[in-house]
Structure 1
C-alpha cells in the first residue's frame, strides 16, 4: 500500500459519491428501490483488534480498516461487500479460509466478497496480490480450485480498491454490471 494512508480517506469519500450517483435513479431504471448501499467510517475498536492480529494480517489491510469500515453495495452489479474488520479478524483467527492452492498457492486473508459467492483474499506478505476465489472446495481452511476464474484480481490492495471505485463509477454512468 502507499506509505501515506491519507489517500484511503479520499478513496472512501470518492466511493461514497460514486455510490450516491449509482443509486440516484436506481428505482426508475430497475423498478424497485435500492437497498442499503453504504460506505461506512471505520470502527476503531474493530480496527484495533485487527491490528492486534498483525503480522498475520497484512499491514495493507490494517491501514485500510483504520480509515474505512464496511462497504455494502448490494445493488452494484450482483453486489460487492468489503467485510468489517471484526469479520476479517474472526474469520482469520478461526482459519475459515487461510490458504489457497491449485492454480495459485499462497496464504491469504479474505476481506471481501460479491453477491455471487466469490470471495477476495489478500495474499501475505504485504504488497502481495488480491486473489479472486470463486465458489469451490474449502477443507480445513484450505481453498482448492482449478477454476479459470480463480486468479489474480489485482496486483495489490490499492489497485483492487481503485478498481472497485472505477467499477462503481462505470455502473453509475452506464448501468453496466462491474466485474472485478
Structure 2
C-alpha cells in the first residue's frame, strides 16, 4: 500500500486490497480444497456498528486508531485464510469488555481489549498506548503476550501482507 496517512481512505484501500486478494482465492477454493468456501469479507461498518461505536465511546476513549477503524470497517471475517482470521465487530469487542473487563493483565503490562483472533484461538489485544499484542496460547488465563505491532495501522498492514502471501503461496506467515 502507498503511504497515505491512517484514515477512512487508508482503510478503504486496505479493504479493497484484501477483498481483491480473497476474491481470487475464492474462485478456485472448492477445486483445491474439495468444499465450498465460507464467507470471506472485510465488511463495511453498518449503522448498527456506528451506533455501537458511538454508544461505547467511554470504553473506546484512548483507542483513537480503533475508533477510526470501526467508523469504517464493521468486521473482518476470513475463515479460509490459514486457519482463519477475524477482527471482531465493535459490538462484540464492547460486549466482551462489558462482560469480562479489559484483558492483557500481565504484571506491569498494558491493559487493553481483545479485538481479533484466529481460528486456533490466538487472541490479539489492543492496548491503550495503541500497540497490538498476540497471545502465545489460546487461553487468556495466565496467557503471555508478545507485542506484534506498535500501532493498529502497522498491525493492519501486517494482516494485509499475510493475506496476500497466503493467497499467493498458501502460507500465512505469523498471522
**Interval containing the TM-score (normalised by the shorter chain):** 0.7 to 0.9
Tell me, what secondary structure is at the counterpart of 1:112? Answer: strand
State the SS of the aligned residue for 2:134.
strand
Alignment-derived partner of residue 56 in structure 1:
59
Mark the CA change 1:75 to 1:178 in structure 2 (over 3 Å): closer, same or farther. Answer: farther
The partner residue of 2:75 within 70, 78, 102 is 70
Alignment match, 2:15:
12
List aligned pairs for 1:18-167, cutoff 5 A: 18-57=21-60, 58-101=63-106, 105-125=109-129, 128-133=130-135, 134-138=137-141, 144-146=142-144, 150-167=145-162
Gaps of 5+ in 1: 139-143
Match of 1:145, SS? coil
Q: When the two structures are superposed, what TM-score results if normalisation uses the length of structure 2?
A: 0.86
- Segments of 5+ residues of structure 2 without an aligned counterpart are none
- Could you tell me how far apart the structure 2 residues matched to 1:107 and 1:44 are? 29
| Coordinate RMSD, CA, aligned | 1.9
User: Aligned in 2, Cα 1:76/1:4: closer, same or farther, shift over 3 Å?
Assistant: closer
| Larger RCO (alpha carbons 8 Å, 6+ apart) | 1
CA contact (8 A) 2:133 2:149 kept: yes
Separation in 2, partners of 1:26, 1:113: 22
Q: State the TM-score, normalizing by the size of structure 1.
A: 0.84
Structure 2 counterpart SS, 1:105 = coil
Q: Distance in 2 between matches of 1:7 and 1:137?
A: 32
